[in-house]
């Protein structure tokens, strides 16, 4: 009897244990393995969607990339009055330090996007032939888009055409392969400004050849060419800028929206939009709304006041002036009042402005004359068909400033045109973001060089 009992125990224990061991193998439900993610056509395309989701992030094109540019170059036209200390530092510049939380957040999210693009580009072999060109083109476009902004925001100097310093001044680390294994192995040194621009142009040139003309909300041939126009303009390579802008305009894929106000706060892409960042209630809200708008539209407190210094630049009757509104005790930009709408990244009007400026500088009239291009923009702004009868470079630049106000171009134009921000010249070290302190720490003992102002 006793033996039987003991046997029962032993037997029961064995059964119990044998049955239990399988409980130790638990696979996640909300995640899948890295290998599986890059194993099929469908999965790689899903990772590509992930790249757009990363781009959508508030720390990138969801608002911060544009807002940093406007705030860092903010002077007399806007006033930051919000409480986010990071943004306040950026606006004040004097108090901007290497631990700035926005400089950190944008940096981290940018490289996150880059790694996703690198992952997609590493797995093109499994993508179906019919999708391959488009998938590669989109990944290259997104990678170029973010590198271009990284080098402009974090590069130690601005790009000056023909200056050999471009080959010495530090841009940002250039990571073109996916991160595998220990991320600590990826202590990539900062590439030169020239190297980063080269990589951007290579990606965009390839993307422009690979991408289709239309592609829903995703990158297109037009988007790649438009971005090339923007890149070459920044590099003061006006002929190339002009030709790409002209090519986009003549592609007949885009047309100006009749009313300026209808360019913004849209739920869907407009005919003028070349590339947008799309928000839906399922993503987070646009940070452009958060920073620039007021509580009734989902904004914060009205963190950025638009000053008369800006408002007085508009001529009477300008519908672009009419878009500003009084909210929470000050004038606000009316471009960002739809928190779940589209945030425009590149639109057709910019192409006209690039073509006009480049043609003017080169004394050419490829596509159309600068006068006609600018008058087209002015006409849409409610200023009549022939607002200018003759045109100067400063007219063109003024129209550019008004047309594209508060869309994230300010800092880059200041640097390109070698203007001042207050008393600071365009190459003042505080007009560049610091390399985040956390990144310098994480690189140790490898030295990641800090920018000269920090």
Partner 1 sequence: MKKICSLIFALVLLGSVYAQQRKVTGTVVDASENTPIPGVNVLIKGTTTGTITDANGKFEISAAPEDVLMFRLLGYKTEEVLVGAQTQLSINLFPDIETLSEIIVVGYGTQIKSKVTGNIAKVGGEEIKNMPVPSVELAMQGKAAGVFIESVTGKATSATRVRIRGTTSLSGGNEPLYVIDGIPINNEALNLHGGAINPLASINFNDVESIEILKDAAAAAIYGARGANGVVLITTKKGKKGEATFEFNYQRGVSVASNRRDFMNAEEYIKFFRMAGRNADRYEMRLDNAPEEDSINYDFWQTFVEKRLKRYSGHAAILDENGNYLGSAVNTDWQDLVFQTAKNTSVDFSARGGSDKLRYFTSLGFTEQEGIVISNGFKRMSGRLNLENNAREWVDLGVNMTMSVTDLKQINADNAFANPIQAVALAPITPVRDTNGILYDRPTTTYYNPLRHSEYAHRKINEYRNITNAYANIKFNKMLTWQNEIGYDLYTLKENHKLGELTNDGQNGGYGFSNYGQLQTFVTKSLLDFKGTFGDFGVSAIAGTELLYAVRDRTWVTGERFPMDAFITLDAAGSITEGKQTLEKYSFLSYISRATLDYQEKILLSISGRIDGSSRFGKNNRYGFFPAASVGYILTKEEFLADNSTISFLKPRLSFGKTGNAEIGNYRHLGTFTSTQYNNVAGLTPYNVPNADLTWETTNQYNAGIDFGLLNNRLTGEIDYFMKKTSDLLFEVPVPGVSGYSTMLKNIAATENKGFEISLTANILTGNLKWNTNVNFSYLKNKVTNLAEQEIVDPGSSRFMNVLMLGQPIGVFYGAEYAGVDPTNGDALWYVNGPNGVDSLGNRLTTNQFDEANFVVLGSPMPDKMFSITNSFEYTVAGFKLDLSFMFQGVFGNKIHLAGDPYMAASGEWFDNQLRSQLNAWTPTNKNTNVPEARLIFANGTESRSSRYLEDGSYVKLRTVQFGITLPKSLLNQYKVNNIRLFVTGHNLLTFTKYTGWDPEVSSDAFVNNLRSGIDFYSPPQPRSLVFGVNMSF
Within residues 16-35, the interface with partner 1 by CB under 8 A covers: 16-17, 20-21, 23-34
**Closer by beta carbon to partner 1, 172 or else 241:** 172
DSSP string, 335-366: T---TTSEEEEEEHHHHHHHHHHHHHHHT--S
Q: Show contacts with partner 1 in window 196-225 (CB under 8 A).
A: 216-217
SS3 at position 172: strand
List 130, 162, 281, 385, residue binding partner 1 (CB under 8 A): 281
Q: Biggest alpha carbon distance in the chain?
A: 114
**Closer by beta carbon to partner 1, 229 or else 435:** 435
As measured in angstroms, the least distance from the Cβ of 389 to partner 1 is 37
As measured in angstroms, the least distance from the Cβ of 373 to partner 1 is 32
Q: Answer yes or no whether residue 295 interacts with partner 1 by CB under 8 A.
A: yes
Q: Answer yes or no whether residue 125 interacts with partner 1 by CB under 8 A.
A: no
Q: Show contacts with partner 1 in window 325-344 (CB under 8 A).
A: 327-329
**Closer by beta carbon to partner 1, 88 or else 237:** 88
Residue 294, classified by CB atoms within 10 Å of its CB into exposed (0-12), middle (13-18) or buried (19+), is buried
As measured in angstroms, the least distance from the Cβ of 282 to partner 1 is 6
List 61, 66, 90, 112, residue binding partner 1 (CB under 8 A): 112
Q: Show contacts with partner 1 in window 58-97 (CB under 8 A).
A: 81, 83, 85-86, 88-89, 92, 94-95, 97
DSSP string, 39-77: SSHHHHHHHHHHHHHHHHSTTTTTTHHHHHHHHHT--SS
As measured in angstroms, the least distance from the Cβ of 152 to partner 1 is 17
Q: Answer yes or no whether residue 188 interacts with partner 1 by CB under 8 A.
A: yes
List 140, 221, 230, 278, residue binding partner 1 (CB under 8 A): 278
| DSSP bridge pairs for 421 | 424
Query: How far is the C-alpha of 98 from the C-alpha of 111, rounded, in Å?
Result: 18
As measured in angstroms, the least distance from the Cβ of 136 to partner 1 is 17
Length of the chain: 454
As measured in angstroms, the least distance from the Cβ of 312 to partner 1 is 16
Q: Show contacts with partner 1 in window 404-433 (CB under 8 A).
A: 422-423
Q: Answer yes or no whether residue 452 interacts with partner 1 by CB under 8 A.
A: no
Q: Between helices 238-250 and 221-234, what is the axis angle to 10°?
A: 160
Interacting span for partner 1 (CB under 8 A) from 2-10, 346-354, 363-371, 384-392: 2-10
List 40, 131, 175, 369, residue binding partner 1 (CB under 8 A): 175
Query: How far is the C-alpha of 212 from the C-alpha of 392, rounded, in Å?
Result: 37
List 104, 140, 406, 412, residue binding partner 1 (CB under 8 A): 104
Total residues binding partner 1 (CB under 8 A): 101
DSSP string, 159-215: --TT-GGGGTSEEEE---S---S-GGG--PPEEEHHHHHHHHHHHHHHHHHHS-S--
**Closer by beta carbon to partner 1, 145 or else 402:** 145
Query: How far is the C-alpha of 418 from the C-alpha of 415, rounded, in Å?
Result: 5
Q: Answer yes or no whether residue 316 interacts with partner 1 by CB under 8 A.
A: no
Cβ atoms within 10 Å, residue 255: 11
**Closer by beta carbon to partner 1, 168 or else 308:** 308
As measured in angstroms, the least distance from the Cβ of 74 to partner 1 is 13
Q: Tokens 């306040």 belong to which residue?
A: 88
List 61, 111, 148, 387, residue binding partner 1 (CB under 8 A): 111
Positive or negative torsion for Cα 330, 410, 193, 143:
positive
Query: How far is the C-alpha of 454 from the C-alpha of 450, rounded, in Å?
Result: 7
Q: In this structure, are residues 245 and 232 in contact, taking their beta carbons and an 8 Å threshold? A: no
Rg of the chain in Å (alpha carbons): 25
As measured in angstroms, the least distance from the Cβ of 47 to partner 1 is 5
Q: Answer yes or no whether residue 280 interacts with partner 1 by CB under 8 A.
A: yes
Q: Which residues contact 141 (CB under 8 A, 6 or more apart)?
A: 203, 204, 207, 211, 219, 223, 224, 227
Q: In this structure, are residues 113 and 51 in contact, taking their beta carbons and an 8 Å threshold? A: yes
List 37, 131, 372, 379, residue binding partner 1 (CB under 8 A): 37
Q: Tokens 């402009």 belong to which residue?
A: 152
Cα 315 to Cα 78, 312, 447, distances in angstroms = 18, 8, 52
**Closer by beta carbon to partner 1, 161 or else 268:** 268
As measured in angstroms, the least distance from the Cβ of 247 to partner 1 is 26
């Amino acid at each position: 009897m006793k033996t039987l009992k003991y046997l029962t125990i032993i037997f029961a224990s064995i059964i119990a244990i044998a049955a239990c061991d399988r409980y130790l193998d638990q696979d996640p439900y909300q995640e899948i393995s890295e290998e599986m993610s890059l194993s099929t056509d469908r999965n790689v395309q899903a990772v590509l969607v992930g790249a757009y989701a990363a781009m959508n992030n508030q720390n990138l094109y969801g608002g911060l990339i544009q807002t940093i540019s406007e705030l860092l170059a903010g002077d007399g036209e806007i006033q930051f009055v919000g409480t986010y200390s990071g943004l306040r530092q950026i606006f004040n510049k004097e108090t901007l330090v290497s631990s700035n939380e926005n400089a950190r957040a944008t940096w981290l999210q940018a490289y996150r996007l880059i790694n996703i693009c690198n992952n997609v580009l590493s797995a093109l072999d499994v993508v179906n032939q019919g999708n391959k060109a488009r998938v590669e083109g989109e990944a290259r476009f997104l990678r170029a888009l973010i590198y271009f902004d990284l080098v402009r925001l974090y590069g130690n100097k601005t790009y000056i055409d023909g200056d050999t310093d471009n080959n010495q001044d530090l841009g940002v680390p250039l990571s073109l392969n996916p991160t595998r294994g220990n991320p600590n192995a990826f202590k990539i040194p900062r590439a030169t400004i020239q190297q980063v621009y080269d990589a951007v142009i290579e990606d965009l040139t390839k993307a422009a050849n690979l991408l289709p003309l239309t592609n829903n909300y995703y990158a297109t041939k037009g988007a790649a060419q438009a971005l090339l126009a923007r890149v070459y303009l920044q590099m003061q390579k006006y002929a190339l800028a002009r030709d790409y802008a002209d090519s986009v305009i003549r592609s007949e894929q885009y047309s100006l929206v009749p009313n300026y106000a209808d360019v913004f706060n849209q739920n869907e892409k407009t005919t003028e939009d070349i590339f947008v960042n799309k928000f839906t209630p399922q993503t987070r809200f646009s940070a452009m709304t958060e920073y620039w708008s007021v509580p009734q539209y989902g904004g914060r407190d009205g963190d950025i006041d638009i000053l008369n210094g800006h408002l007085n630049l508009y001529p009477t009757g300008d519908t672009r002036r009419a878009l500003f509104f009084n909210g929470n005790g000050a004038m606000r930009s009316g471009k960002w009042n739809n928190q779940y709408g589209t945030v425009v990244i590149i639109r057709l009007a910019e192409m006209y402005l690039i073509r006009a400026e480049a043609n003017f500088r080169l004394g050419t009239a490829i596509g159309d004359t600068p006068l006609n291009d600018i008058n087209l923009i002015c006409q849409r702004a409610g200023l009549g068909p022939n607002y200018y009868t003759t045109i100067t470079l400063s007219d063109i630049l003024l129209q550019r400033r008004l047309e594209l106000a508060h869309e994230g171009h300010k800092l880059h134009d200041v640097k390109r045109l070698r203007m001042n921000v207050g008393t600071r010249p365009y190459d003042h070290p505080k007009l560049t973001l610091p390399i985040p302190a956390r990144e310098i720490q994480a690189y140790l003992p490898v030295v990641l060089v800090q920018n000269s102002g920090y």
